Chains A and B, each alone.
Chain A
């Protein structure tokens, strides 16, 4: 009958974060052995920039997966928002206005996803599959199938994706801010608790007085918002609006979250794991690049990693 609140780690929660840290350590050691270039500061910053670019999408996907949902449309939002922003800048709109309008467009996709899932009761997979295809189509229509030039605004805008603050690339700062905000929301706000509750059991959440529809709607909006943000960073780095940019990123985001220990079945996981997951993937890609492995073989390796991560997770569940 002890009512103490000691946060002694138990058998159940130790291996989860532990495995990820071990994996990261092994990767770092392996990378520095394979190539002397790995520990070069410039390479490290490159890796971290990769972490930031994909990690932002991983954070959005973490919110979604925690509610036991899925959002496939983020890859198309990256293309769509990029093309809209590029087009507006090319027409001479100020950078801020162009970005705001483009992000509003991205959020609109999130609203459509949310309404379809909450009001229309369409399964998240189907709903976001539909909006993924639709949004990509709109991006291609706007760009008329080709790329869109940023015009003279592009030079100033390059700062977001390619600039530095105190010697650290801007996207890393953006990612850090996103992570802190996401961590606070998930761990320290009633809304964050509600997300875990909805993912654990929607019926219990409803009976516990949680507005399940609102929470579900909100996570699709968050996901679309973060996808829009990363769209702008991609656009800034590429300096050209490509309606085909972002293809396949939804799988990258899911991989990051799942490697980070977020359950596809909802209610389990968090931001710290997602950061770790993004690092594992980025370092792995870096090792393979440094070792001169072809991009085709890299895909095979990445696929194996996903399966391996999920197998480990399944093993952990069985033991628990």
Chain B
């Protein structure tokens, strides 16, 4: 362990009942270093982060910060030592202001113990200005975009004098311009203040863009560490998945059939205005837009989940009005929601429960659910969609992100949906599982002539997966493009102001 290391992990191991989550993990971080941590979901990155934050205690191994071995790591000691972990699901008080969140637990006091609000706002404004963020310290957290909430988290880490900042997939929820802003801040803090970063991401482009060094984890072990200029993305992917993935995006020739869905003059969610689009059978259509462009609102409205939505919807040539998601499902529509953990899954329930909840009418004999029919459907879907689970009774929350998403898609397959509306279907999903989800969507589109509409903010995904692309900006559809003829630049031009 060299002297200049601000952080050193030595031989960290961690077991959970029945699972060895981490095996002899070691890595170090020098002052000002930006290290990417990559690996498939379930590789052990989150467990490692929780050990770093003090949330979990390792079964073996040592953590040293600035050369000092931390004997009994707890969240409080790790924060005290200058380690800040910013999770993807941010731990914020949504009803409190930005200033309160930034200074949570350390609000400045006046004599008498009352909070000194002007001083709190001044301190918050100062740190936000230093980071170059334009956020009102008085704004309530739940009125901010996800991107801005992330900025607030970074500001909070800085006011706590964090020297080591761990970012867990920060870009998953950010638009391109925001990612650029985030990277600028990371570089600035690293260069000027010597803050070291661990940057966890699934997007390899970003890893090469921001990180100097990279650590690859697989199955709870560190399988490769090197400088990012010594490796290419093909090799990196090979280390991550332990096999050749080839091109992440499968190739196919679409067999396009009749029009399945058409909407015209759609307005929804107080954001979408006069949107018109159509999707044909066997076709995969992309809906691209930056955060806040109205992708999610459009999909929800098409599914019947937005009562206030206005517009004309035709399904298979017939005009129809959907009053609820139930109506949507009954008419063959299926939604893969953006927020998998809250809106997509029943986390407390089993894999089988999650798969069959929308198709219970197929599972009854008389008034009662038939175990035989249920097991048959669940087993078929688990096998066809290659859901990795010990069995159908396992809790869905113990599955990796990719396998959880397969359960959501499996539910729609079980409910015999013929039009799938997928909102960011691969968010928070690792490279290998992404490929599996793409394969799955292609297979469903080809074999069952499903019509698929995918909303995404990932350009490579949109361009490589889809046959046709709609671009949205500020609630309006600004372009309809042939995915094979367009370019990232052209799509981006329609998605942004110029």
Q: Which residues of A are at the interface with B, using a C-beta cutoff of 8 A?
A: 1-8, 10-12, 184, 188-190, 193-194, 196-197, 200-201, 203-211, 267-268
Contacts and interface: CB of A to CB of B under 8 A. Distances in A.
Contacts of B382: 3
Contacts of A197: 346, 349, 353, 357
Interface residues of B, number: 47
Contact of B364 (A8, A190, A209): A190
Contact of A201 (B343, B352, B391): B343
Contact of B361 (A6, A188, A190, A268): A190
Contact of A207 (B335, B361, B363, B390): B335
A193 B393 contact: no
Nearest to B357: A208
Interface in B342-366: 342-349, 352-353, 356-358, 360-361, 363-364
B180 interface: no
Given A196-B353, A203-B342, A207-B303, 12 more contacts: A3-B392, A5-B378, A5-B393, A6-B391, A7-B391, A190-B369, A193-B360, A197-B357, A204-B345, A208-B357, A209-B328, A209-B415
A7 B352 CA distance: 12
A189 B303 CA distance: 26
Interface string B7-21: 000000000011000
Contacts of A4: 391
A210 B363 CA distance: 15
Contacts of B335: 207
Given A5-B378, A5-B391, A188-B368, A196 B305 contact: no
A188 B372 CA distance: 12
A209 B343 contact: no
Interface of B: 17-18, 303, 305, 324-326, 328-330, 335, 337, 342-349, 352-353, 356-358, 360-361, 363-364, 367-369, 375, 378-379, 382-383, 386, 388, 390-395, 411, 415
B346 A204 contact: yes
Nearest to A7: B393
Nearest to B412: A208
Q: Give the most central of B18, B349, B353, B358: most A CB within 10 Å.
A: B349
B302 to A, nearest CB: 13
Contacts of A267: 346, 348-349
23 contacts: A1-B386, A2-B390, A3-B379, A3-B382, A3-B391, A3-B392, A4-B391, A5-B375, A188-B369, A189-B369, A190-B364, A193-B356, A193-B357, A196-B349, A201-B346, A203-B342, A204-B342, A207-B335, A207-B343, A208-B329, A209-B325, A209-B329, A210-B357
A201 B347 contact: yes
A28 B345 CA distance: 41
Contacts of B379: 3, 5
Contacts of B324: 206, 211
A8 B18 CA distance: 13
Contacts of A8: 391
Contacts of A10: 394
Nearest to B375: A5
B297 to A, nearest CB: 14
A205 B386 CA distance: 24
A267 to B, nearest CB: 4
Nearest to A11: B17
Binding site of A, secondary structure by majority: helix, strand, loop or mixed? loop
Contact of B305 (A2, A12, A206, A268): A206
Q: Which 9 A-B pairs have CB atoms at the shortest separation, nearest pair first?
A: A190-B360, A200-B346, A209-B329, A267-B348, A3-B382, A209-B326, A11-B17, A188-B368, A3-B383
Given A1-B386, A188-B368, A196 B346 contact: yes
A205 B337 CA distance: 12
A69 B369 CA distance: 25
A12 B395 contact: yes
A268 B343 contact: no
Contact of A5 (B343, B369, B392): B392
Contacts of A6: 391
B325 A206 contact: yes
A211 B347 contact: no
A299 B330 CA distance: 52
Nearest to B303: A207
A206 B329 CA distance: 11
A206 to B, nearest CB: 6
A320 to B, nearest CB: 9
A8 B17 CA distance: 15
Contact of A203 (B326, B343, B392, B394): B343
Contact of B349 (A3, A200, A211): A200
B225 to A, nearest CB: 30
B480 to A, nearest CB: 27
A193 B342 contact: no
B141 to A, nearest CB: 20
A6 to B, nearest CB: 6
Contacts of B347: 200-201
Contacts of B392: 3, 5
Nearest to B330: A209
Nearest to B329: A209
A201 B356 CA distance: 16
Contacts of B346: 196-197, 200-201, 204-205, 267
Contacts of A268: 348
B413 to A, nearest CB: 14
A268 B379 CA distance: 24
A197 B411 CA distance: 14
A206 B393 CA distance: 23
A265 B18 CA distance: 27
Contacts of B345: 201, 204
Nearest to A188: B368
Contacts of A188: 368-369
B348 A207 contact: no
B243 to A, nearest CB: 15
Contacts of A11: 17-18
A267 B396 CA distance: 14
B343 A204 contact: yes
A166 B245 CA distance: 71
B305 A189 contact: no
Contacts of B343: 201, 203-204, 207
B368 A189 contact: yes
A208 B342 contact: no
Nearest to B369: A188
A204 B396 CA distance: 14
B358 A200 contact: no
A1 B388 contact: yes
